[in-house]
Structure 1
Amino acid sequence: MPLYMLIRPSKKKSGTGTKGLHDYMHKHRRRTYAGSTAPQDAVPCYPVEAPQEFDVEGKELDPDAQVWKTYVREADLVDEELIDGWNKSMDVILIFAALFSAISTAFVIESYKSLKQDPVDPSSQTLLTISQTLMFIANGSQPASTPPTLEAETPVFKASAKAICVNVLWFLSLSLSVAVSLISMLAKEWCLEFMAGRTGPPGAQARRRQQRWDGLVRWRMKEVIVILPSLIHLSLLLFAIGLCVFLWDVHFGVAIPVVIVTTLAASAYFACTIVPLRYDFCPYGTVLSRFIKQFTRIRPQPSQDDPPQDEVMASALRWMIETCETPRSVDVALQSLAAAGDNLPPNTLEKCNAWGMIKRRFESIDTSEQSEQTRAASLYKRGLEAHPITRKKIDKLAYGYVNETRKLEYLVLGVQTTISSLINDIMSNTHSLDPATTAILQRCTLIGRHCLDSFVAGWGSDYTYAIEVDPEGLVEGLVTLLEQYLKGEAELEPVLYSVISASFGFVMCCNVAQRVTEQSANVGHVLRLVQAYSSGPMRPVLFFQDPITDNLILATLWLWISADYSTDLSSPTSSRYAPVETALETLWAGLMNTMYSDRSALKRLDKTRLAHGMLYLLANPNRFNLTADDSEAITTSLNMALWSPDLTFRIQNRHHTQYIQDISHNLATMANVAAFTPQICSALNILRYYAPWDDRYLLPTPEIYVFLVKYLCMSSNLNSPDTWSAHETLGYSPIPKCSPRLVEQLLMGDIISHLSNSLASDNRNQQVFARAHFGILFSMSLHEPDRSSPALNTLENALMRYPGLGNSLERQEEVAEELETELEELLTRDSDGINSYLREYVCRVLEVMLQRRCAPLPEFVSDQLKRVPDRLRGIKSLVNLETERSIVYTDVVFDSEGQLVPHSEEVRI
């Protein structure tokens, strides 16, 4: 049985702590796996961290809270690594400066002599004069005059220019290396001061350390230490230049440069002594400054019991979120925001998208596994709810006072914060944005505040957000940018495109919630994007997940608010803002998917939310005047965005049956069905793939069934995609029983005449299709249990028009058997020439007819039906299209006519 050793982080300044133990056990574990030298009875040992501890609710930001313990631990690790690096760097500087100074000194000792007169020269002149005088005396003669050497004055000594240049460079190099040594020693003292005083409650330590860190950043201590090696390099450069000049010759005036360098070093030392006396958290300092401060100033002791939620605390939390490499440390920092109040500045944390990170972690937690995860999820949820509270003073809105709007508040602000943080990153890292795009992005950062002003009470009369945002104008500007990009007329970075798309989806949801724009105008904006994507170069050739389609899905989320069948508002637990909340929650999840490739939130969502907008458009082509190309582009976008191996999409029963009912209603009221036939076929086919079940089963209404039959009878191009789609849809639909509405639709559509015409057609597919449906109609007539039904009588009268019946209903059974025989012959004789979906459907019809007569099923029919779902086989596939809906959609209520019953007292936002 393996052993698990609990390892707590060490606070040793060396930074070794448990590292050696951890490395040893890790190496030992590897050796054990390799099976090389480990004993047979060796027990593997694994170092693990202590389980996460949680604070008392509401105490997550107290002085002894877990967040501050984590802050101190992480700060110690980061600061020790930083200071240790600085100290090692300055040690190298000091050693190099010492060696270099020694070397340069040896050269300076020799070079400085060229700056003054050589004492040997006057001595030589004196000796020459003495020698000449002695010579005259020895000769016994009197010199006629004074020797020339005595008459001329001794010339004044003057150093050469090259000698001076060499000495200037070398003395400057020597002085600079000594100055760097001095500053390096001071820097080591600054590092020691930064690491000192790390005792006391974690909250107080965190504040003290954060204040010092802010001072270190503000006074650019890192830059000062980094520049020290550069000074040594400069010193070495000066020495090399001087060496070159030395080999050339000499010049004068060395004292002034040396004095200047010395003065600068002295000034730096003096400044490092004086400045800390004025600024408490200045990272510079000397021994003298600390000595003076100790006797001249009494530091006020900050309260350690209740640290204020101010900018220092927000900066500390942001530092943890951005700097800590340990995921648990970041988790603790984010979880502490559960106790955030209205005094905590939100802007600092919003810059690092803290609440977006909370949302991502909240969605990724599986609360069914561990109590620890449940507690973490609770903290994240409270952190999201606390976000509006922190913005109360900035936005001047009464966040949190009305329970009904609390979820709406944090969803709007959460989406806005995520978008704003991305916009800030783009604007700070991109310098090529044109002024118009920059203005649009700046307006996008105000969408959330403008939206909440309609739902949350505020104060102040000088609010100008509505004027700055201009929702309708902003939508037009965003659509224009996206349209140009999708058509290939403008270039946008992928991140910028995703941000603009998310902003478009966000402002559309807010506009619909506020009832700023009409549905027709909103659909027009969406169709502009769909058409631009369909006709532009951005449409991929291969079928794979595409970020563009992911963003197009987000552009239709507003339809969840405007379409009236999403939420039961009569429920006591339902809020009138529920559709808006659902749309925004889905938008946030989609935004995290497109921007961070985080699909955890999408996996937890009801997938109907994502697909609803596009399915609603597909189900109502006549209402929005969709062209066949529009429907094809919407279908492609939907499939590419939703089909993924790690996501399973199943539409809710209520929505699925509502889409079917919408199509049925449109067929009944449409003036020109032929103009929208391809669109309806496409919608029906895609509804099979997103049905609430796995077998692609579709239960049509009588109107839809008759529409498909009539279209296949009248279609001139039997190889068109629409014809194949219609055959496929009919092939996965049940075979209808006799019912009043069905018979009525058969007569209204003159189906008997169309089928009769198809019997005489030259096309084999139409011949087979007509015989199969006549077989269905005769079986429907022969096996209707209620022989006195008016619908049956109407059907029988219509069947009298069948050419082979001979105006005698007694021949129905004989005619049905003839149709069986003809269908079997056609399938066996020309099977390859028949549409595969039609062939499968005809085999289903044959199976029903043969089961009615208790006749054996031919082998080729049985083989053809192997892949057909069980509920579409034989007599089990016979259903009443008017009553079957209540059986298939068990959790949906229908009226006596099979129509969907709307939610009671449903109210549109």
Structure 2
Amino acid sequence: MSDAHTQPPEGLTVGTQPRWGEASTKRNPAIHVIQDEFDEYGAEFGERARVWKAYVREADMSDMEQVDEWHNEKQINNRSLDVILLFGVLFTIVCTPFAVQSSSLLTPNLSDVSVAQLGVITEILRGIADGSRPSELNSTQTANVGMFQPSLVHVWINALWFSSLLLGAAVSIIAILAKEWCILLMSGRVGDSWSQMIRRQQRWEGVEKWKMGQVIIFLPALIHLAVYKEVSFVTGICLYLWTLHLAVAIPALIITAFPILVYGVSTLLPFFNPSDVVCPYSTSISRFIQRLGGPDPECYYKSPNRIAIEALAWLIKTSQDPKSIDTALQAIAGANPNDEHRQLLKESGADTMILRRLIGLDSYSTNYDKLLDLYTRARLFFQPPTTASVSQQGAPTLAGEKVSLSAGEGFQGNINREVQRKMRDLRDMMDRQITTYTATSDHVFRSIPDNVQALRIGSTAASHCLRSMEHETQAHMHEQFDSAIDLLENYKNRQAHLEIRESQYLITGTAILLSSLLDCPPATGAQYVMRLLRIVCRAGDGQNPLPMEQLGLPMAVYALSRHDYPGWTRRPPLSSICRTERSIEMIAYYVSHHSEFANITTSMAKLGLLELLSNPEEYKLDDDDIMILGKASHLLADVAGPARIHTLSENAHIDIYPRAFEVVTKMIQGEHYQLSRDAIATTCLTILNLAQRAYLPPGIPLGEIYVFVIECALDPPRLSLGPEAYEKDIALDVMQKFHDYSWTQDSILDLARALGKKQMFTKFKEALEVESSDNIIMKLFATGQAWFLIDHAIKSETADHEDWTRCLSPFIGDESVPDLVMRRLREQRNILADQYRGVWKNDALHRQIRHSYFQILYNSLPTARIGEGAHN
């Protein structure tokens, strides 16, 4: 006869075998109806999964049956809580008269004492009549009249009956407590299915840990002790009858001895029973002792995942509803596999049941593809992991048995289980946070379509990524990403209203989507990020400005997807799926450590920008892309410095900056790139602006780079037009970074050679001679730079070197005598300082000067003309 644990769902056939479970299906026509509702992909084991509804339903029925069994139904020992309580009360009522009656045997009988006293008086009177003296009467006879000693038999009778009376009362009290325990077990069945499952499973484990069932089952044994053992009521009856008449006592003893013998044998037989045979004869005492000798229950405090796995195993083992079992088996598809969970579910027979359903799945049945996916992933749960968890050349492969199905062959591919686990954990974390956000009382959540869509993208992004990895398709991922971009565009254009938290969840969901979308050609991946950057950098007047820092997560995800930065637990080279895993780990960390996230967003955004700029040809960036990147870097320029990004090492800059500076060096030195001159200049300025001066890699041509920046400040690139043009500001930003740089002896001479090669002092002199006030900013910059470089040459004591005299010739002429050269340079330095002060103190001209670099130059000027000897 089939049961719910062996029969497949409706429509499953195996060759020409008869259909399984026909009888059960007839008994319950609702059984084996294929579910039309399925969980969100990858969320089959999540907090809102339908399996927990089935679990709660089955647990309610099972617990109710168990409590009813404890309360009402007759167990093997024909006792239950209600029976125990009733029997204890009745037994106490019956024992009470016997105990009261027998208590008189322990005290003197007044009638007997009176008779004894009268006998003594009679003897005294008789002696007086015979002429005897009272003193001659037996004194001991008089004394014995006042003494009483209960017999040993009477003492035993009272001890046995009072023990039985008190034991019966104790059992009644404990039975009342047990009924309260049962009520507590069934109480609190409110809330969502996940909460009910956790609460019920913990209570049930408490019942098993503290052996509540054994305690309740042992309660009748106390009654048994009161009735049948040596301290029992019937033993006291036999002793009492023995004192009355032997003929009455002997039949009572025989009748009493028979049940006592049967009870004793039933208690002992299970201990001599072979382990593979169940003895049908037992008592509460024998079962209680056997259970005490069993394995200790596991620790009560367990993780929710462990509790959920135990609940799933319990449901599969105990449920008689095939539909509930199907739901439980399908939920395994979303569980996190490990050896302990795998073994626990194997013990319930889940692996065999899943295989049977896979083999018998009808390709013409409703929801065939969905069921095939669920059972295939559930079957994969039981496959052991590979010996090497991660392949250095590609994604990890799965070892062990494989289910060969024509429609699903290769369906799973090589799936990294660790990525799945981290993705599920991230999904659950996002879901909990969003649920808390919508339910909190510190604000009013507006359930309008835009708000709901933002939260939906944040909540479901991880599930879409799971489906993308397992099905090797990204069509739905593109749709989700497009939806996120459109919503951000609407928010920028004030067509959608999002609260700060809602926009954060939206961008976090976008970052999660990117972690899987970026397994694509480099140019395609770059354009995903550029779409986000355009929204931030092209916000005009009347639009919602989206802070560049909010794109920190997506930008960092992009960087991690393109390059193996040092600091992670796995060694490079990393496969694409390992890079995805790293991104997910980073996102999950900052979702759970939100206080740290605010301090790291700038470094994340800079990391992504530097990655894009480090290989503009491979990423196929055009002039418009370079302009956007430059604008983005300018928006980050005034934000706080670097911080360590999770999964990156403290020294990650050693790997981050050299790649970007290599591009700068090649561009400055004239290597061909398919970009315009302005785009190349903007690329170099953007990289230099993003870089931290303390992390400049050794060996870079710093002199050439500095001269290049001066050229850009004098003649800025013009990628962006109009009043919002920012390229000159970026050049000045970079100049400000290098202002107090500590030049070495060699680097200062390299700078002199680079200045001479580009004839920069000739350009300074030409700018100084321009009379028009239209170019006052350029004139001021040329004055300040000329002063700064001459001052630097003098202070470094290299001004008389031929490299400096050659490049400074526009200011010192053909003078070659060292002393005259130094005198001429000091004079020129003082003249330039006075000219700079003059422009700076002109209020009309000063109002045109906005960049802080000019203030820094002004503060560097000497307060008064310094004599010649001061600089020797």
Structure-2-length-normalised TM-score: 0.43
Q: Which has the larger radius of gyration?
A: 2
